[in-house]
Chain A
Amino acid sequence: MCLGIPGQIEQVTDSAPLERSGVVRFGGICKQVNLAYVPEAGVGDYVIVHVGFAISRVDEAEARRVFDYLAEIGDLEHELGPAAPPAQHKEKGAEQ
């Protein structure tokens, strides 16, 4: 129950202060989400959603930072052969 998932705001439907809400898309799934805690976030922005509430807007510039860093410590394309993928396990649908 405790996870927070990033999704993109598609629509803002109700803008009363406590009840500001909208439609957020997570991959193929859309959900009605309370947006009262992210008044700065609008259509097109990414937000972290937890138990039906957007708790934070994702900062796009900061989101790129780790990839800039990775590029700095060596070009991703020039690995010494293919890197071993981490042990990934199949999981159905979005986690909640």
Chain B
Amino acid sequence: MKYLDEYRNPQAISKIADEIARTASRPWTIMEVCGGQTHAIVKFGLEQLLPDDLELVHGPGCPVCVTSLAVIDRALDLAARPEVIFCSFGDMLRVPGSSRDLLSVKATGGDVRAVYSPLQAVKIAEDNPGREVVFFAIGFETTAPANAMAACLARRRGLRNFSLLVSHFLVPPAIEAICTAPDCRVQGFLAAGHVCAIMGYRQYLPLAERFRIPIVVTGFEPLDILEGILLCVRQLEQGHYGVENQYVRTVQEAGNARARQMVEEVFDVDNQDWRGVGAIPDSGLRLRPAYSQFDARLRFPNETTPPADDSGCISGEIMQGRRKPAECPYFAGRCRPEHPLGAPMVSTEGACAAYYRYRKAEIVDEH
């Protein structure tokens, strides 16, 4: 497929890997923020192509993984209501809440439907005027324009039976939180290309400046990721700390103006709780008051105290780059894709799922 295959060409990949090896004179630690990149790195074995002392640490950029337990439990509650059709991206269905997951709600009679686009949920609401349709609107900046459009179209079409359970996350405040952590080891970042396709990358300039850290906007194919690493290593070697754009074919400096306008119209910034990581100020989105009739939290009020996460899952450590999935005592033992203890074992962008799928044999050997 065009724009995929050529970026997976083995000769081209090893050429960039060689260039990285020639450029790096010292150990460096680089974080790829986005789970999509983590998946590609593990799938294509990119770490094995890098110098031994160039470490990639995996960041928190998996919306399925960071959606808080309280929100998952709220989703489970809503999905179990007889009047509700609960629509969610498929990845979310097996994420464990405090006592069960959406699939088990479905198995006991809940009307839970996997959708690949929020517009499908809008359509389901139009086709089922007698039912309440709730869409689980999770995501980072990349997904926000799509979820915002669903709310906007529902309002235009006068839908009274559609609402969103919003769990949205913003990348720059997470980078800031990672950089201010006292034990931060990260020396450079690969920023998520598709987040920047929407938002542009001006937001990263003050971060690079303040933390004196290079940030390279990077795509998702092996060649993109290695080129992103190369640009980052070059900056590190030269003592630079700027924002660079590797993913020029897709990302413009100002992002996508129309998409940003739609996000602005529907959402405003809010504090957000990240599963395993904790609260980060101004790192989430909520519906603006003009859209409050589409807020599932207001439509189905339900005050419960959020439970404590006592599964033993160390996803927070993993998503802040402090530990690797293989260091989790439950990896491939009590925690497997068939019975996950934590979300990173479920999601396609989850680091644990990627390690399980592509590197389990080697890890289990080491143990």
Is the pair A87, B348 in contact by a Cβ cutoff of 8 Å? no
Interface footprint category on B: 35 or more
1/0 contact string of A47-64 vs chain B (CB within 8 Å)? 010111101101110110
Q: Contacting A95 at CB < 8 Å: which of B3, B10, B223, B348?
A: B348
Interface majority SS (helix, strand, loop, mixed), chain B: helix
Is the pair A34, B62 in contact by a Cβ cutoff of 8 Å? no
Determine the chain B residues whose CB is within 8 A of the CB of A8 once the complex forms: 2
Determine the chain B residues whose CB is within 8 A of the CB of A2 once the complex forms: 34-36, 61-64, 139-140, 142-143, 194, 348-349
Is the pair A84, B227 in contact by a Cβ cutoff of 8 Å? no
Is the pair A52, B146 in contact by a Cβ cutoff of 8 Å? yes
Return the chain B residue nearest A86 by Cβ. Answer: B44
Determine the chain A residues whose CB is within 8 A of the CB of B14 once the complex forms: 79, 83-84, 86
In the assembled complex, the CB of B169 is this many whole angstroms from the nearest CB of chain A, namely 11
Cβ-based interface call for B284 (8 A) = no
Determine the chain B residues whose CB is within 8 A of the CB of A5 once the complex forms: 4
The CA of A12 and the CA of B223, in the complex, are separated in Å by 31
What is the interface of chain A, defined by CB distance below 8 A to chain B?
1-6, 8, 18-19, 26-27, 34, 36-39, 46, 48, 50-53, 55-56, 58-60, 62-63, 65-67, 70, 73-74, 76, 79, 83-89, 91, 95-96
Q: Contacting B16 at CB < 8 Å: which of A48, A56, A70?
A: A70
Determine the chain A residues whose CB is within 8 A of the CB of B4 once the complex forms: 5-6
Is the pair B2, A55 in contact by a Cβ cutoff of 8 Å? no
Return the chain B residue nearest A77 by Cβ. Answer: B11
Determine the chain A residues whose CB is within 8 A of the CB of B43 once the complex forms: 88-89, 91
Given contacts A2-B142, A55-B259, A79-B11, contact A50 B348 (CB under 8 A): no
1/0 contact string of B58-80 vs chain A (CB within 8 Å)? 00011110000000000000000
In the assembled complex, the CB of A72 is this many whole angstroms from the nearest CB of chain B, namely 11
Is the pair A86, B89 in contact by a Cβ cutoff of 8 Å? no
Is the pair A18, B249 in contact by a Cβ cutoff of 8 Å? no
Is the pair A50, B11 in contact by a Cβ cutoff of 8 Å? no
Determine the chain B residues whose CB is within 8 A of the CB of A19 once the complex forms: 153
Interface majority SS (helix, strand, loop, mixed), chain A: loop
Q: Kindly name the residue among A19, A38, A53 whose own CB sees the greatest number of chain B CB atoms within 10 A.
A: A53
1/0 contact string of B202-221 vs chain A (CB within 8 Å)? 00000000000000000010
Stretch from B116-124, B176-184, B286-294, B295-303 that touches the partner: B116-124
Given contacts A2-B143, A18-B152, A66-B223, contact A86 B13 (CB under 8 A): yes
The CA of A76 and the CA of B12, in the complex, are separated in Å by 7
The CA of A76 and the CA of B138, in the complex, are separated in Å by 42
Determine the chain A residues whose CB is within 8 A of the CB of B15 once the complex forms: 70, 73-74, 76, 79, 83
Cβ-based interface call for B109 (8 A) = no
1/0 contact string of B310-340 vs chain A (CB within 8 Å)? 0000000000000000000000000000000
Is the pair A86, B143 in contact by a Cβ cutoff of 8 Å? no
Is the pair A1, B46 in contact by a Cβ cutoff of 8 Å? no
Determine the chain B residues whose CB is within 8 A of the CB of A86 once the complex forms: 8, 10, 13-14, 44-46, 48-49, 222
Q: Contacting B153 at CB < 8 Å: which of A3, A18, A70, A91?
A: A18
In the assembled complex, the CB of A43 is this many whole angstroms from the nearest CB of chain B, namely 15
Determine the chain B residues whose CB is within 8 A of the CB of A96 once the complex forms: 116
Given contacts A1-B91, A3-B220, A37-B145, contact A87 B194 (CB under 8 A): no
Determine the chain B residues whose CB is within 8 A of the CB of A58 once the complex forms: 3, 249-250
Return the chain B residue nearest A8 by Cβ. Answer: B2
Cβ-based interface call for B134 (8 A) = no
Q: Contacting A51 at CB < 8 Å: which of B19, B143, B153, B222?
A: B143
The CA of A52 and the CA of B48, in the complex, are separated in Å by 34
The CA of A62 and the CA of B248, in the complex, are separated in Å by 6
The CA of A38 and the CA of B12, in the complex, are separated in Å by 30
Is the pair B248, A59 in contact by a Cβ cutoff of 8 Å? yes
Q: List 12 A-B contacts (CB under 8 A).
A: A1-B90, A1-B143, A2-B62, A2-B142, A3-B349, A51-B118, A52-B119, A53-B149, A55-B256, A55-B259, A87-B45, A88-B8
In the assembled complex, the CB of B341 is this many whole angstroms from the nearest CB of chain A, namely 20
In the assembled complex, the CB of B168 is this many whole angstroms from the nearest CB of chain A, namely 12
In the assembled complex, the CB of A62 is this many whole angstroms from the nearest CB of chain B, namely 4
